[in-house]
Amino acid sequence: MATQTRSLPGVAATARRSEGVWRDAFGRLRKNKLALLGALGVFLLLFAGVFGPLLAPLKYQAQDLVAIGLNNNEPIPPFQSMVHPLGTDQLGRDILSRLLDGAQVSMTVAFVVQLVVLFIGVPLGAIAGWFGGRIDTYLMRITDIFYAFPDLLFIILLSIAFRETAFGRALNGVLLVFVAIGLTSWVTVARLIRGQLLSLKETEFVEAARAIGVSDRNIVTRHLLPNAIGPVIVAVTLGIPTAILAEATLAYIGIGVQPPRASWGTLIAEGQGFIRSYPWLTLFPGIMIATALMSFTFLGDGLRDALDPKLKGKQ
């Protein structure tokens, strides 16, 4: 049904102008309880990642051999000691501190990867979309081939290939992980930007801008890219869980973050042999991973629904 936005009885009236896409979106986001929950989770995780290791009383690699010794040389279970609230592992290292270190790793990876993605994806997508034609075709063919190669395998290969190099060893292997994951994730954002530019390129306001002499570069940066920001924000937010998961998987296999740094993935790998006897070693990192993934996914879904309610429920 057509609904005109004017009141009765009216004289000549104009349609109510939408008070800004962002205001509407923010309003919708606030009503979405699941998204708010996710936002809370994200906030807590960021806090833990940034401030956690600074505030933690114990260092993640510090071994409390005394406490272990007192416990028959077995790791201390959770909720029993004030010093080690979540218990220790077999080497006496405090689980909580290690979880916080893992949080720092995961949050760093997640956000830096998105930076890499934006850094590569936006310009490439913009070039493909703006120039179109053969440049576009070549770039799309390249991305198609990348698409055929499963991401994880490619990341693993890259990581294996370079892990012995100086680059690979930088920052305990974390830098390598960023770049590897980033290299496989930029395609989505590039496609989004490209699509946006392709469709808007032919519109009249672009023609008008050209007519008054605005340079190509300014057209792209000032007029076209801002329109694409919405979907890009959503893509980036939803890309974070993928990055976190990829990092955890790599760490689990033994690539990426090297000991003694504690990624949640390494914690699981270290603890998996003891799952029957000391289940908390794997349970806590597992819960952390699940929480991180859920928080960012809920928030990302909420952002997507808020920015374009018509897409609700779709991908």
CB of 150 to other proteins, least distance (A): 5
Q: Which stretch binds other proteins (CB under 8 A): 80-88, 149-157, 169-177, 214-222?
A: 149-157
SS3 6: coil
| 188: Cβ contacts below 8 Å, ≥ 6 apart | 121, 235, 239
- Cis geometry, peptide bond prior to residue 260 (ω within 30 degrees of 0): yes
Q: Which of residues 224-243 bind other proteins (CB under 8 A)?
A: 241
Q: Identity (one letter) of the amino acid at 124?
A: L
When binding is defined by CB under 8 A, the residue of 61, 151, 214, 308 that contacts other proteins is 151
- Enter the tokens of residue 44: 């807590």
When binding is defined by CB under 8 A, the residue of 44, 61, 154, 308 that contacts other proteins is 154
Q: Is the dihedral of CA 47, 237, 117, 113 positive or negative?
A: positive
Q: First CA to last CA across the chain, in angstroms?
A: 26
251, 265 contact by CB (below 8 A): yes
CB of 244 to other proteins, least distance (A): 9
Assess 158 for contact with other proteins (CB under 8 A). yes
| 30: Cβ contacts below 8 Å, ≥ 6 apart | 36
How many Cα atoms occupy the beta-carbon half-sphere of 306 within 13 Å? 26
Binding mask 188-227 vs other proteins (x if CB under 8 A, - otherwise)? ----------------------------------------
Q: Which of residues 241-280 bind other proteins (CB under 8 A)?
A: 241, 245, 248-249, 252-255, 268, 272, 275-276, 279
By CB under 8 A, name the binding residues for other proteins: 1-13, 34, 145, 148-154, 156-158, 160-162, 164-165, 241, 245, 248-249, 252-255, 268, 272, 275-276, 279, 282-283, 286-287, 289-290, 293-294, 297-298, 313-315
